[in-house]
Structure 1
Amino acid sequence: MEVLAAVVGGVLVAGLVAVGARLRRRRDAALAEAYSAPEPEEDNDRSTLLGQVLSGSVDLLAGTVSGALRTLVQVAGAREDDGVVTLLFCDIEGSTRLNVELGDDRWAEVLRVHEHVSSEVVAQHRGRIVKTAGDGFMAVFRDPAAAVRAAVGLQEALAANPRIGVPLPARIGVHCGEVVGRGGDFYGTEVVRAARIADRAKGTETLVSEAVVDHAGDIDGVAFQPAGRVRLKGLPGRQPLRRVVLQPGRSRPTGPRRS
């Protein structure tokens, strides 16, 4: 009996090992297919960071789990009842093409400087980068107007910066809303909404939600131009968006307001 039990046990273990190997092969094949997919050029389902493998990366940054739109953002020093934040998503349009043109070593250096420059701009406007993925990041602000000014600063810094050496056409989305606080973390659909807004932007364009316009108020040097009502992937209905445009002849929003 002991010999039979040993034989049966060995067969079961071998079967489990084989099943695990098959699952790993399927997982690896799916990941390889996702990350080798060509970057789309059309506007319908834009990709780079905020589309394709979120179909990939939006899920990584915004934390969508099993299609349930549950999100997690970590904010230093956040309180349990501090549930309203402004979220900024930024990524680079055509990043795969730039990577190929510059080569891996040069592109890695560009990304390093890009991350440093972006962190400086966000911090200047009292925000904090809380997640990064490749050439994109998510930042959190307490003040919607500060987030808009940071978006303007990011567009300028990434479009023409001698430290980076190449223009980086940023696609930025900004949204504010209430999220659920749990132990210093936040959950809710609003992070996903912000990511989807960024996914609708073109290179060098910043799109914001109506909530941002309502809460930010008047910002020197900035106007909010209607950008139509659009469908945001995974969210019901059509959402009105605004485009951030600089107004000539007015002071530029280069820094945070002084209280």
Structure 2
Amino acid sequence: MEVRLLRFFVAVYEQKNLTRASEQCFVSQPNISNGIKQLEEEMDKTLFIRHKRGVEMTNEAHYFYPIAKRLLGELETLPKMFQKKKIENKITIGVADSLPQEHKKQFFKTANALNDLVEWSVKPIDRSCELNLLVREWKLEEDLFLPLWKEDYKLCVPSGHPLLDKKEIDLVEDLKDEKFIHCPPCEAHKQCLSILSSENQNMITVANCETKTETLTLLMAGLGLTFLPEHFIDGWYGFETRPYKGPNYFREVGLSYSRKSLQNPAVSKVINHFSKNVLKTRPFKEFGYYN
């Protein structure tokens, strides 16, 4: 069935007159009449009854009209389905491994809302990125740094471990011959080793992991104790944290960027917002993730 015949039918149905329908379709009246006749022959149904004042619709015409309108509407929108909307705002951002999901989620949710529409290119941290979401120690020396959140490292103890009977753990007395899981690439690894080695010479290293995620997995499996950032461990299970006697250490996470990146208006809006506003997050316990 030709599309032009559907248009002819809809025009005649709505105008109730062949002359007005031909004007609407920018064709001659004989073209409209022949078109309707062809359509009726294809459908083997009478759609209109002609008379001097115009046409009268049959029951078949009433039934066919909404179908024809829908088909024409779908045909008109079909080309637009494959037209890619041009996005003006684009940001290339590098995201460091082992950052807490809740904090990353709230950052992207807030940053995305600052612009009408943003096309994000998310990669591992790299000097080619306009923004890098990372730990302060990992930023390039020449880059600026805007802190977003700070989190303490917690002593994590596997479930069922005897140390969990203590409200506070003494690094000297309580950790003798204890097994530890380490993450050498971690920004706080050297601090961790200095704390443990200075306080306790009997520490046993049972694993060295490349990422905090792997460290967390071995902790949940019960292989040993470890230190991990407090927000990174939110919502996970198989271990508990305990306060300890000894020096504390932390990490600061934020945005690293060059002055050149501020030439991108979308990036500039993100930096300007977080320079004046704190990143708002919700603890996992509010979502009922803790057992």
Q: TM-score, normalised by structure 1?
A: 0.23
Larger radius of gyration: 2
